Amino acid sequence: MTTPYDLVIGDRAYSSWSLRGWLLFDAFNIPVKLHTARLYTDELAKVLKDFFPAKTAPTMRTPDGVVVTETIAIAEELASRHPDARLWPSDPKARAIARVVAAEMHAGFVALRSHCPMNLRVSYTDCAPPPEVLVDLKRLELIWAWAQSETGSTTWLCGDYSAADAFFAPVAARIASYNLPLAPAAMAYVHAHLAHPSFRRWRAMGMIDGADQDFYRRSYPRRPWPGPVPLASRPVEGTASENAVCPYSGKPISHVLEIQGRRIGFCNAFCRDKTIADPEAWPKFMAIYQAAA
C-alpha cells in the first residue's frame, strides 16, 4: 500500500488555513492522514517536531518525506504530483486566472481576516464591519466577477471547483458567520461554498471538535447558520442499531444516533457526533439511511 500524505491541522472550527489545506485533499479525492493540534496550546509545537522545519498549520509531508508548508505551496505540489486530480483548471487562461486570485487571497484581505476571524460554530446578525472591511468585500466582488466573466463560469471561479475556490472557502465561512454585505452574485458564490460536500464535512467536524476557543467569542446577536439545514437527529443511549458495524471504520458499534425513529450506530462518539452535526454531509451514512428509507 502506498504511504499516504500527512497533514497537520488546527481546530476545524477556527483554523482557516487548515481548512484550505484540507480541502486541497478532500475535495480532490487525495488520501491523507491527519494530525490534529489544538490552537493556543503547546500541542501544535509538539506535533510539528516531527515536521521540521514547519512552524504553522497546515503542514504537509509527502509520501517520500518532503515537508511542505504554506497552502499555496501545498496546492502547487499536489497539482504537480496528481495532474489527474485537476486542482488547477486545464485551460491555460483559466489556470492563470485561478492562480492569480488564489495568490491574492493567500497574501491579502488583512482587514477582513482581522475583524472577522473564522468561526464555523456561529453566525451573527451584524458585526459592524469598519470601512477597511467593506473595502476588502468590494475587492472580493470585483475579482470574483472578473474571474467568472473571463472564464465563462457561473458556480465557481474558473470552471469546475479548483484550488482557487478552496482558497476562498474560509472567506465564504467568514461572510456566513458575520453576515457581511455582498452583491447577489458574490453571495451566490458564498452559498455554493456552504453547500459544497467537503465544506459541509469540515464544518460538521468543526462543530464537535473540542471546546469553544475564547479568542473567537464575540457579543454580536446571533442568527441560524445560513447554509443547508441539517437533518434532525440526536444521540441515544445503548448500542442497539440497525447496522452491524460503523459505516466509516467497519468497527463494532459503541455509539448510536436516532434519526426519523431509526437507530444507526458508530464506533465512537466522534463518528456519531459529526454525523449528527450534518447527516447529509456523509455519503457512507446516507447510503445506510437511504437504503432502508
pLDDT above 60 (res 1) = no
| Phi–psi pair at 72, nearest 5 degrees | -70, -35
Q: Give the residue-averaged pLDDT of 13-28.
A: 98
pLDDT above 70 (res 97) = yes
Per-residue pLDDT tens over the stretch 63-85: 999 999 999 999 999 999 999 99
In 3D space, the residue among 283, 114, 262 whose CA is nearest the CA of residue 204 turns out to be: 283
Q: Which CATH superfamily is domain 5-85 in?
A: Glutaredoxin (3.40.30.10)
Confidence of residue 34 (pLDDT cuts 50, 70, 90): very high
The 3-class SS string of 139-200 reads: HHHHHHHHHHHHHCCCCCCCCCCCHHHHHHHHHHHHHHHHCCCCCHHHHHHHHHHHHCHHHH
Contact 256, 265 (CB under 8 A): yes
Which residue, chain included where needed, has cell 485551460? 91
Q: Which residues pair with 222 in a beta bridge?
A: 124
| Phi–psi pair at 33, nearest 5 degrees | -100, 125
Per-residue pLDDT tens over the stretch 137-167: 999 999 999 999 999 999 999 999 999 999 9
Pick the CATH number of 92-202 from 3.40.50.300, 1.20.1050.10, 3.30.70.100, 3.30.360.10: 1.20.1050.10
> Looking at residue 293, what is its pLDDT?
58
Cα(267)–Cα(249) distance, integer angstroms: 7
pLDDT above 80 (res 2) = no
**What share of the chain has pLDDT > 70, as a percent?**
99
Q: Give the residue-averaged pLDDT of 191-209.
A: 98
> Looking at residue 3, what is its pLDDT?
77
pLDDT above 80 (res 113) = yes
> Looking at residue 292, what is its pLDDT?
72
Cα(92)–Cα(173) distance, integer angstroms: 29
Query: pTM for the complete prediction?
Result: 0.96
Q: Give the residue-averaged pLDDT of 20-30.
A: 98
SS3 at position 23: helix
96-115 as b/e, with b when 16 or more CB fall inside 10 Å? ebbbbbbebbbeebebbbeb
Domain ranges within the chain, ordered by starting residue: 5-85, 92-202, 234-291
Per-chain mean pLDDT for the chain: 97
